[in-house]
Amino acid sequence: MGKITPALSMPITSVRGLEFCNAAVHGLVIKSKRHDNVVEDCRFTFWGRIGGPRTYGNQGGTDSEIYAERRSGNLTIQRNLIENPRGASNDWDTGHPDGPQGITLINSSGGNVIRYNEIRSTEDHGYNDAIGGGSNFSFEGSPNRDSDIYGNIIANVWDDAIESEGANMNVRIWNNYIEKTFQHIATACTSKGPLYIFRNVCGESRRTHRDPLGGSMIKVGERDEFGGGRKFVFHNTSIQPKGAFHAFSGHVNPNTVTRNNIFNCPGRLASSREVDTSCDFDYDLFTGSDRGIAQERHGIRGNPAFVKSYALEFYPASTTTRIKWGKVPTQFGDKTVTLTDPVMTGPNPVIDSGVRLANFNDDYAGKAPDLGAFELGCPPIRFGRRAVSDIWAPWELH
């Protein structure tokens, strides 16, 4: 398709197996108040204006391959390949990123399913947000309510890979693989809740092309009356090296419950700012130095290790290594040698260290649930367009 953007102006309309390229602004527009639309098995590429920092006079922020106007809802967006926009978002060296997006929902009416998509590009043609929208500080937002975002592969983003902000009422974000982003999942604000974030894998994070310091696994925050909705954060995994620097951003973060996460982040676990509604952080592995307001009475320390895999699988390895501080007598054959601060092999601290969570980890295989997204003895999580079946779209065959 050429520069004319198709628009879904009728309810209960499906778009399947098409290739969209060379759109001037948006690749596909879902008109205001439309509902029950399905977009699946499509390829979107080379759309939008140039993008870049607005302080330089650029335009093209939120030019999206799929753009849903206000009050549209009950949308199913699945198994699409979204890649290589014409323009590019700037990184944080020149202010807040501004540029193309993969999927944008503006004050949706809710009921959305965004699953098994692959949103990617190159670093020089990266996204502002991959999945996002607005209004962020509101009682609506994107995806608003009663929605699921799962099974997606997302990369090459300069701000938020998944921006789920606004009401976040009965919204679930799960089983996503995210890398090469600044913030993995953004939740500022969650004005109603509950929001569930579970079994996501958070890979590489970086601030700019030149600054490899990562952002946060989860961005939080509130403003005026918009905030305070409950967030549940269970069984997520942060991957190092080059991963998120912080588990949660430094903004105020009330009413949050965490369990069984691998927060392999060298910086902050939680903000130190006082909150009106207390949080409950516990049974998480945290490798950093600043817990903030998080108590973690049963928190886990140590270095996680994962089984090497050719696929996107992150099962915990049976053993890991750690430094044992001080002088340690060590046996070498028939001799005993004293070593200073040696590296020792021991059990992986994430195995069987979790706590039972009804309806979230009932199928755990050991003495107790493992921490993180993958449970030893259970089938692997699958991500992307081939997660469920090998469906090939017409544009892949001809």
* Residue 37, in any domain of the structure: yes
pTM of the full structure: 0.95
- What is the 3 state secondary structure string of the chain? CCCCCCEECCCCCEEECCEEECCCCCCEEECCCCECCEEECCEEECCCCCCCCHHHCCCCCCCEEEEECCCCECCEEECCEEECCCCCCCCHHHCCCCCCEEEEEECCCECCEEECCEEECCHHHCECCCEEEECCCCCCEECCEEEEEECCEECCECCEEEECEECCEEEEEECCEECCECEEEECCCECCCCEEEECCEECCECCCCCCCCCCEEEECCCECCECCCCEEEECCEECCCCCCCEEECCCCCCCEEEECCEECCCCECCCCCCCCCCCEECCCEECCCECCCCCCCCCECCCCCECCCCCCCCCECCEEEEECCCEEEEEECCEEEEEECCEEEEECCCCCCCCCCCCCCCCCCCCCCCCCCCCCCCCCCCCCCCCCCCCCCHHHHC
Residue 3: predicted pLDDT: 54
**Bridge partners of residue 269, in order along the sequence:** none
Smallest Cα–Cα separation from 288: which of 275, 280, 300, 274?
300
Distance CA 197, CA 214 (A): 20
* Residue 385, in any domain of the structure: no
* Residue 323, in any domain of the structure: no
* Residue 107, in any domain of the structure: yes
* Residue 331, in any domain of the structure: no
Q: CATH number for the domain including 75?
A: 2.160.20
Burial bucket for residue 390 (CB in 10 Å: 0-12, 13-18, 19+) = exposed
Residue 4: predicted pLDDT: 55
Q: Mind listing the pLDDT tens digit of every residue in the chain (398 residues)?
A: 555 567 777 677 899 999 999 999 999 999 999 999 999 999 999 999 988 887 777 777 899 999 999 999 999 999 999 999 999 999 999 999 999 999 999 999 999 999 999 999 999 999 999 999 999 999 999 999 999 999 999 999 999 999 999 999 999 999 999 999 999 999 999 999 999 999 999 999 999 999 999 999 999 999 999 999 999 999 999 999 999 999 999 998 989 999 999 999 999 999 988 877 789 999 999 999 899 999 899 999 999 999 999 999 999 999 999 888 999 998 888 999 999 999 989 999 999 999 999 999 999 999 999 999 999 999 999 999 999 988 888 899 87
Q: Containing domain of residue 156, as a range?
A: 7-310+391-397
* Residue 354, in any domain of the structure: no
Residue 54: predicted pLDDT: 77
Residue 390: predicted pLDDT: 86
Distance CA 398, CA 394 (A): 6
* Residue 168, in any domain of the structure: yes
Question: For the chain, what is the domain count?
Answer: 1
* Residue 108, in any domain of the structure: yes
